[in-house]
């Protein structure tokens, strides 16, 4: 062991372990598994190098009742503590209690429980193999041409009566086939299949704090950005939170159903902060180690939620890598969205990507390239948007294209391109190019980025709205005066045409394809169902909106020109055309990326008036025009002028 501080004294009965720095903490060579079950015995391990004593307690139930057994754990030189309990403990529960500086820190399930009791206070002893649904060994993710991300919350998606889904607000809602609205429109997984999205990104679905799992009949809502147990599914999304196996089995059933229906699953992971510090499993195990501090010793708060974790500390880094790999191997998760990725360091993110790609070369990794407050690490070490070019295979959300379209984050009532405001064209072009360096983009006129931040276009997530802030329809209503329902729809479709014709990876929020609103609520993280539930009857009322979104997805899927994988190809084939104010026109030329279409022309018109745009002369087929899209054709055009209807996009191609 290196770095054991000379001060190793006896204090009462317990030996005290202190180290000169976090880097000197002894670390184990193996993984961080804390409970290993077998029918004959269960082995426990906890990394707690500064503990003076560690006790293991066994319980009959997930909460309540007295411990049936208390076992003193033994310290190894690598900072881990061990205990083995003989007999078949299947169905029992456990906690660890760490003593430091003469004080017991409080019971917790450790930092790495793989199963827990209700509300996540105790670890559960189970045989994970018994949680596999039938056919799990043969479960395989589908192969897809494109990536189209659909961001959803379990409760939003299925809780409304009109969803026709039986298991409302549950993981297994996504396993129900044949669900329909009263008007006969498909909902649930059938809806997603029809839409054509490739990746379903679920909001935090690890065990989080705020929803009381013992009261499933009381409507409760939270997005879940308050992590408790990172490596266990959330209990309130299972049909029985008191049964530790139910949430695990049902999560797997959800993944299996998505895979069988041609989709993949992305998990929203929030390693950047915990619900709180003092009560967190991290702090009750190795106080101080997992969180960053400011130079004055106070807790750093890069998350804006009261703390910020320390991915730059070896064991936090290893914890994150191991957690990602665990979700991939045990649950067959296909991708990860990192909340406030800008709090993590570049080295950790690159390591996660490398290790994840060893398990699945197609793994999808992206995140928010920002933080709420400046984290306690130098900027050039952080996984911020500006540093994405140094993280190959990792993408970040583009606030550049988002705000160029809808208006700034800081004011819901301000508009931009969609409201006919000139001056956002360059930012939109930057987003269409996938945030790469492109000779026709003047970076001095881009809203937030003064330099390109991706090395490859697929390192940019293209979007106009997500669960944060107002959803698209609410934002349009709030920011564009005197908007009719017809024009609201036109602008909605125009916005997504920009998103889907970008070389970045397109991303939509669930329900946008049926004109979802949240009644103008800006931050609905704990709003009731009346705000957050998707009203699926909108699909009955506006089938044309769904058809347009589906058309955009089909366009990308069938045409590699919209998703060139290489920045040089984009620079070679993407050419912006001269256009009037609040119009962006571009050409994907010469069978870009082997596309069957020779030249594709896209014109986005944010003006509330017809825009006349000059294009290279020729004969073109029209596939999108005047708020309609149809790959079978909407007519043809010969010449060098295209008149684009107000608040809409035109897409043409030549053979
Ligand atoms: Ca929970």
Rg value, the chain, Cα: 26
**According to the model, what pLDDT value does residue 14 have?**
66
Q: Enter the tokens of residue 104.
A: 């017991």
Distance 149 CA to ligand 1 centre (A): 25
Q: Which whole-number Å values give the CA distances from 229 to 23, 97, 201, 281, 638, in the listed order?
A: 25, 16, 19, 8, 61
In this prediction, residue 13 carries a pLDDT of 56
Q: What pLDDT is attached to residue 9?
A: 44
Q: Check whether 296 has a pLDDT greater than 60.
A: yes
Residue 385 has pLDDT above 60, yes or no: yes
Q: Tell me, what's the pLDDT at 15?
A: 85
Q: How many angstroms separate the CA atoms of 626 and 648, rounded?
A: 6
Question: Please, which contacts does 580-583 make with residues 24 or more away whose CB atoms are closer than 8 Å?
Answer: 580/607, 580/611, 580/612, 580/613, 581/422, 581/425, 581/607, 582/417, 582/420, 582/421, 582/422, 582/424, 582/425, 582/606, 582/607, 582/611, 583/425, 583/607, 583/611, 583/613, 583/644
Residue 633 has pLDDT above 70, yes or no: yes
Are the C-beta atoms of 419 and 554 separated by less than 8 Å? Answer: no
CA of 208 to the centre of ligand 1 (A): 4
7 pLDDT above the threshold of 50: no
Look up residue 545 and give its DSSP letter: H
Compute the distance from residue 518 Cα to the ligand 1 centre, in Å: 25
pLDDT at 619 over 50: yes
Tokens of 531: 């705000």
Q: What is the mean pLDDT of residues 570-590?
A: 98
Pure H helices in 407-522: 425-432, 472-479, 485-500
pLDDT, tens only, 231-267: 999 999 999 999 999 999 999 999 999 999 999 999 9
Q: What is the mean pLDDT of residues 524-546?
A: 98
* Cα 382 to averaged position of ligand 1 atoms, centre (Å): 30
Confidence of residue 512 (pLDDT cuts 50, 70, 90): very high
Predicted structure pTM score: 0.97
Helix (H) or strand (E) holding 227: strand 227-233
CB 344 within 8 A of CB 324: no
Question: Rounded mean pLDDT of the chain?
Answer: 96
As a whole number, mean pLDDT of residues 466-483 equals 97
Judging by DSSP bridges, how do beta strands 583-588 and 41-47 pair with one another? unpaired
Is the pLDDT at 300 greater than 60, yes or no? yes
* Per-residue pLDDT tens digits for 36-83: 999 999 999 999 999 999 999 999 999 999 999 999 999 999 999 999
Q: Does position 4 have pLDDT exceeding 50, yes or no?
A: no
- pLDDT tens for 323-361 read 999 999 999 999 999 999 999 999 999 999 999 999 999
Distance 170 CA to ligand 1 centre (A): 13
Q: Is the pLDDT of residue 105 over 90?
A: yes
| Ligand 1 midpoint to CA 526 (Å) | 15
**Residue 425 CA: distances (Å) to CA of 354, 370, 650:** 36, 24, 17
CA of 135 to the centre of ligand 1 (A): 28
Residue 157 pLDDT > 60, yes or no? yes
Written as six digits, the tokens of 214 are 């013992």
Q: State the distance from the centre of ligand 1 to the C-alpha of 226, rounded, in angstroms.
A: 9
* pLDDT for 12 beyond 50: no
- Active-site residues, by number, are 339, 368
For residue 1, the model assigns a pLDDT of 38
> Distance from the CA of 116 to the center of ligand 1, in angstroms?
9
What is the 232 CA–ligand 1 centroid distance (Å)?
9
- Tell me how far apart the alpha carbons of residues 459 and 503 are, in angstroms, rounded to a whole number: 10
Tell me what pLDDT residue 198 has: 98
DSSP string, 229-281: EEEEE-GGGSS-TTSHHHHHHHHHHHHHHHHHTT-EEEEEE-TT--S-STTSH
Gap from CA of 118 to ligand 1 centroid (Å): 7
Question: How many angstroms is it from 229 CA to the middle of ligand 1?
Answer: 8
**Contact 291/169 with Cβ under 8 angstroms?**
no
């Amino acid at each position: 062991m290196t770095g054991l501080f000379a001060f190793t004294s006896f204090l009462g009965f317990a030996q005290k372990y202190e180290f000169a720095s976090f880097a000197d903490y002894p670390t184990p060579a193996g993984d961080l598994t804390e409970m290993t079950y077998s029918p004959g015995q269960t082995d426990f391990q906890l990394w707690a190098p500064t503990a003076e004593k560690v006790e293991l307690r066994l319980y009959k139930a997930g909460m309540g009742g007295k411990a049936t057994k208390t076992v003193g754990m033994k310290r190894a030189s690598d900072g881990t503590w061990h205990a083995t309990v003989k007999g078949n403990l299947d169905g029992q529960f456990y906690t660890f209690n760490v003593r430091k500086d003469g004080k017991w820190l409080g019971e917790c399930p450790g930092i790495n429980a793989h199963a827990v009791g209700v509300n996540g206070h105790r670890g559960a002893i189970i045989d994970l193999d018994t949680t596999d649904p039938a056919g799990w060994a043969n479960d395989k993710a589908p192969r897809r041409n494109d990536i189209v991300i659909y961001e959803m919350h379990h409760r939003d998606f299925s809780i409304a009566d009109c969803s026709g889904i039986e298991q409302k607000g549950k993981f297994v809602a996504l396993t129900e086939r044949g669900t329909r609205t009263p008007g006969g429109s498909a909902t649930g997984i059938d809806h997603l299949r029809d839409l054509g999205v490739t990746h379903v990104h679920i909001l935090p679905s690890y065990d989080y704090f705020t929803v009381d799992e013992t009261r499933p009949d009381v409507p409760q809502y939270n997005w879940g950005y308050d992590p408790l147990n990172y490596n266990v599914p959330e209990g309130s999304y299972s049909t029985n939170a008191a049964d530790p196996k139910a949430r695990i089995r049902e999560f797997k059933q959800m993944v299996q159903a998505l895979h069988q229906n041609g989709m993949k699953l992305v998990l929203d992971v929030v390693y950047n902060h915990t619900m709180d510090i003092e009560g967190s499993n991290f702090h009750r195990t190795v106080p101080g180690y997992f969180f960053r501090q400011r130079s004055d010793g106070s807790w750093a708060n890069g998350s804006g939620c009261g703390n910020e974790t320390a991915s730059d500390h070896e064991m936090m880094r290893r914890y994150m890598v191991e957690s990602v790999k665990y979700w991939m191997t045990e649950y067959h998760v296909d991708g990860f969205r990192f909340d406030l990725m800008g709090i993590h360091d570049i080295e950790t993110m690159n390591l996660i990507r490398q290790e994840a790609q060893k398990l699945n070369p197609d793994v999808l990794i992206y995140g928010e390239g920002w933080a709420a407050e400046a984290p306690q690490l130098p900027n050039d070490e952080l996984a911020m948007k500006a540093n994405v070019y140094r993280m190959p295979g990792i993408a970040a959300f583009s606030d550049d294209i988002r705000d160029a379209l809808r208006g700034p984050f800081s004011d819901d009532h301000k508009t931009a391109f969609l409201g006919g405001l000139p001056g956002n064209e360059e930012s939109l072009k930057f987003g269409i190019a996938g945030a790469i360096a492109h000779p026709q983009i003047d970076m001095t006129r881009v809203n937030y980025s003064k330099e390109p931040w991706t090395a490859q276009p697929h390192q940019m997530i293209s979007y106009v709205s997500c669960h944060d802030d107002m959803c698209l329809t609410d934002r349009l209503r709030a920011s564009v005066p005197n908007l009719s329902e017809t024009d609201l729809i036109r602008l909605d479709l125009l916005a997504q045409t920009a998103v889907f014709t970008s070389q970045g990876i397109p991303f939509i929020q669930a329900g946008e394809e049926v004109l979802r609103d949240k009644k103008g609520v800006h931050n609905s993280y704990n709003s009731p169902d009346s705000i957050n539930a998707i009203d699926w009857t909108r699909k009955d009322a506006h089938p044309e909106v769904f058809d347009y979104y589906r058309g955009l997805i089909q366009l990308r899927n069938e045409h590699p020109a919209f998703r060139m994988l290489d920045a040089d190809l984009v620079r070679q084939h993407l050419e912006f055309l001269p256009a009037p104010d609040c119009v962006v026109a571009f050409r994907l030329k010469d069978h870009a990326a082997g596309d069957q279409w020779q030249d594709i022309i896209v014109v986005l018109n944010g003006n509330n008036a017809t825009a006349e745009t000059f294009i290279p002369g020729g004969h073109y087929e029209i596939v999108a025009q005047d708020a309609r899209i149809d790959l079978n054709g909407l007519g043809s055009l010969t010449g060098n002028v295209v008149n684009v209807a107000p608040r809409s996009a035109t897409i043409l191609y030549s053979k």
